[in-house]
Chains A and B, each alone.
Chain A
Amino acid sequence: MKLITRTLEVFGEYILFLGKVFRKPEKGKIFFNKLISEMDMMGVGSLLIVAIVSITMGSVITIQTALQVESNWIPHWTVGFTVRTSVVMELCPTIISLLLVGNLGSRITSEIGSMKVTEQVDALEVMGINSASYLVLPKIISALIVIPLLIIISIFFALFGGYITVLIVQMIPIYDFVDGLTSFFRMYDVYYALTKTFIFAFVMSSVCSFYGYRIEGGALELGKANTQGIVVASFIILVLNLVITQVML
Chain B
Amino acid sequence: MIEVKNVSKYFGDKKVLDNISTQFYEGKVNLVIGRSGSGKTVLMKCLIGLLYPEEGDILYSGRNFNLLSDDEKKQLRTEMGMVFQGSALFDSMTIQENVMFPLDMLTDQSFEEKLERVNFCLQRVDLSGSNGLYPAELSGGMKKRAAIARGIACQPQYLFCDEPNSGLDPKTSLLIDQLITEITHDFNMTTIVNTHDLNSVITTGENINFIYEGELAWVGTKDNILISDNELLNDFIYAQPLTQMIRKGL
The answer to whether A128 touches B85, judged by C-beta atoms less than 8 angstroms apart, is: no
Whether B82 and A126, one on each chain, are in contact in the complex, defined by CB atoms closer than 8 angstroms, is yes
- Please indicate the chain B residues that have their CB under 8 angstroms from the CB of A122 in the complex: 45, 50, 84, 88
Given contacts A119-B86, A122-B88, contact A27 B50 (CB under 8 A): no
Q: Does B140 contact A (CB under 8 A)?
A: no
Smallest Cβ-Cβ distance to A37: which chain B residue? B92
Q: Which residues on A sit within 8 Å (CB–CB) of B88?
A: 118-120, 122-123
Closest-CB distance, B144 to chain A (whole angstroms): 13
- Among B49, B88, B104, find the residue whose CB has the most chain A CB atoms closer than 10 A: B88
Pick the interface stretch among B72-80, B205-213, B239-247.
Answer: B72-80
**What residues on B are CB-neighbors of A125 within 8 Å?**
50
Contacts of B101 in A (CB 8 A): 127
Q: Is A4 an interface residue (CB 8 A)?
A: no
Given A30-B104, A128-B106, also A119-B84 (CB < 8 A): yes
Interface membership of B237, Cβ < 8 A: no
- Chain A residues with CB under 8 A of B227: none
Closest CB of chain B to A111's CB: distance in Å? 8
B91 interfacial contact with A, CB 8 Å: yes
Contact A127 B86 (CB under 8 A): no
The docked-state distance in angstroms from the alpha carbon of A118 to that of B87 is 8
Across the interface, name the chain B residue whose C-beta is closest to A29: B104
Question: Which residues does chain A contribute within 8 Å of B48, judged by CB atoms?
Answer: 126
- Complex CA–CA separation, A129 to B78 (angstroms): 10
The count of chain A contact residues (Cβ–Cβ below 8 Å) is: 15
Check A26 for interface membership: any CB of B closer than 8 A. Answer: yes
CB neighbors of A among B32-56 (8 A): 45, 48-50
B105 at the interface (CB under 8 A from A): yes
Contacts of B238 in A (CB 8 A): none
Per the bound structure, the CA–CA distance linking A118 and B81 in Å amounts to 17
The CB with the most chain A CB atoms within 10 A, among B45, B85, B105, is that of: B105
- Cα A104 to Cα B223 with chains together (Å): 58
CA gap between A41 and B78 in the complex, in Å: 32
Residue of B nearest to A129 (CB): B105
CB distance from A35 to the nearest CB of B (A): 15
CB contacts (< 8 Å) of B73 on chain A: these are 128
Contacts of B50 in A (CB 8 A): 122, 125-126
Establish whether residues A26 and B105, one from each chain, have CB atoms under 8 Å apart when the complex forms.
yes
Tell me the complex Cα distance, A114–B91, Å.
10
Report the Cα distance A115→B89, complex, angstroms: 9
Q: B90 at interface (Cβ–Cβ under 8 A)?
A: yes
CB distance from A138 to the nearest CB of B (A): 13
B222 vs chain A, min Cβ distance (A): 28
Residues of B within 8 A of A123 (CB): 82, 84, 88, 90
CB distance from A44 to the nearest CB of B (A): 17
For residue A83, give the distance in angstroms from its CB to the closest CB of chain B: 42
Which residues A12-70 have CB closer than 8 A to chain B?
A: 26-27, 30
Check if A126 sits within 8 Å of B105, measured CB to CB. no
Chain B residues with CB under 8 A of A128: 73-74, 77-78, 106
Shortest Cβ distance from residue B228 to the other chain A in the assembled complex, whole angstroms: 33
| Shortest Cβ gap from A153 to chain B (Å) | 27
Check if A120 sits within 8 Å of B77, measured CB to CB.
no
Chain B nearest CB: distance from A110 CB in Å?
12
Q: A123 vs B74: C-alpha distance in the bound complex, in angstroms?
A: 14
Q: Is the CB of B105 within 8 A of A120?
A: no
Complex partner residue of B86 from A26, A30, A118, A129, CB under 8 angstroms:
A118
* A26 CA / B71 CA spacing, docked (Å): 13
Residues from chain B with Cβ under 8 Å of A27 in the complex? 104-105
Known: A30-B105, A128-B106, A129-B105. A120 touches B90 (CB 8 A): yes
Separation of A128 and B84 alpha carbons in the complex (Å):
15
Expressed in whole angstroms, the Cα–Cα distance for A129 and B50 within the complex equals 12
A146 to B78, CA, bound (A): 35
A198-B38 Cα distance, complex, nearest whole Å:
49
Q: Which residues of chain A are near B74, meaning CB under 8 Å?
A: 128
Shortest CB distance B58–A (Å): 15
Q: Which 6 A-B pairs have the closest CB atoms?
A: A128-B77, A119-B88, A123-B88, A126-B82, A128-B74, A119-B84
A-to-B contact residues, CB < 8 Å: 26-27, 30, 114-115, 118-120, 122-123, 125-129
B residues near A, CB below 8 A? Answer: 45, 48-50, 73-74, 77-78, 80-82, 84-86, 88-91, 101-102, 104-106
6 inter-chain pairs at a CB distance below 8 angstroms, sorted by A residue, are: A30-B105, A114-B91, A120-B90, A122-B45, A128-B77, A128-B78
What 6 additional pairs, Cβ within 8 angstroms, besides A115-B91, A119-B84? A30-B105, A118-B88, A120-B89, A120-B91, A123-B88, A128-B78
